[in-house]
Amino acid sequence: MMSIIWFLIILAACITSAWLVKKNNIKRDTQNEEIAGVCAGIAKKFNVKPGAVRLAFVLSVIFFGIGILPYIILWVIMEEE
């Protein structure tokens, strides 16, 4: 039962993040990228430090286990600047 709940949470995170990227026209920042520019692009759009967004992704992986799949999906669907 818990695995189904975690699957639904991860699915919701993926769908929400993909929707937000398309709605806000967020693009990967290839100038400040560490891996793919996903976090740097999100940070640039919302005028925050890229390190804060990267930390949020890392903490979501450590504590909730849901940061990796949304990151990969965003990597695929986000356009480069």
Count: domains in the chain: 1
Alpha-helical runs (H) found in 25-78: 38-46, 50-59, 68-77
Task: Find the domain containing 56 and state its range.
Answer: 2-77
How high is the pLDDT of residue 28?
82
Cα–Cα nearest to 42, from 55, 59, 29, 58: 29
Q: Per-10-residue mean pLDDT for the chain, 81 residues long?
A: 74 78 80 83 88 87 77 82 79
Q: What is the pLDDT of residue 11?
A: 77
pTM over 0.75? The answer is no
